Amino acid sequence: MIVIPIQKVYGYITRRKEDKIQVLVFRHSNPAAGVQIPKGTVKDGEETEEAVIREIKEETGLKNFKVETLIAEDFWKNDDGAVHQRFFYDIYVTESLDEWEYQPTGGGEEKGLTFRYFWISSPNETELVRGHGDYLDYIF
């Protein structure tokens, strides 16, 4: 049996504040979902860079950002047994609030949810859900 991986994009959205690099994370309105970074599924026919741009806009509401580089790509087994091909991007934002709430616009499972965004200044500042912090060392 051939397993076709599900392509997922992850955005390490970064900014510089007081000479420190910070990464954007969010807390789900469902506490069991934990603290995450913006991510999503690549649509059919979509390039991964296009997908990460779409996901960032849908999940954060940010508009003024730039995709810097693809920092990592791997294959990963999700908790439900599905195999994901993951693409982690470094994305730089020039202007942003320190904290905000946003209701994602992508629909699906996120419909009606509210995400609470904030910034972290080190990989150990908060515990991210499994898999989301795998490449934070490339940023910090």
Predicted pLDDT at 30: 82
- What percentage of the chain exceeds 90 in pLDDT? 80
pLDDT of 94 strictly over 90:
no
Range of the domain at 48: 6-138
Can you give the pTM of this predicted structure?
0.94
Q: Is residue 1 domain-resident?
A: no
Q: Which of 121, 11, 139 is nearest to 67 (CA)?
A: 11
As for how many domains the chain has, the answer is 1
Q: Is residue 125 domain-resident?
A: yes
Residue 124: strand, helix, or coil: coil
* Residue 62, domain CATH: 3.90.79.10
Predicted pLDDT at 112: 82
Q: Which of 109, 128, 129, 130 is nearest to 140 (CA)?
A: 128
pLDDT of 52 strictly over 90:
yes
